[in-house]
Structure 1
Amino acid sequence: MADKQISLPAKLINGGIAGLIGVTCVFPIDLAKTRLQNQQNGSRLYTSMYAQSWSDCLIKTIQSEGYFGMYRGAAVNLTLVTPEKAIKLAANDFFRQHLSKDGQKLTLLREMLAGCGAGTCQVIITTPMEMLKIQLQDAGRIEAQRKLMSQAAVGAPGGPVELRSHTAMQLTRET
Structure 2
Amino acid sequence: MLRFLRRTLGRRSRHEYEHERHVKEGQRASVHINAAGSSALSLMCRVALLDGSDVSVELPKRARGQQLFDQIVLHLDLDEPDYFGLQFMDSAQVPHWLDNTKSIKKQLKIGPPYCFHFRIKFYSSEPNNLQEELTRYLFLLQLKQDILSGRLNCPFDTAIELGGNALQGNEHASLLLLLHLYTICLTQLYLLQ
Q: Is TM more than 0.5 here?
A: no
Which of the pair has the greater relative contact order for Cα pairs under 8 Å at 6+ separation? 1
Greater share of residues in strand: 2
Greater share of residues in helix: 1
TM-score w.r.t. length of structure 2: 0.24
TM-score w.r.t. length of structure 1: 0.25
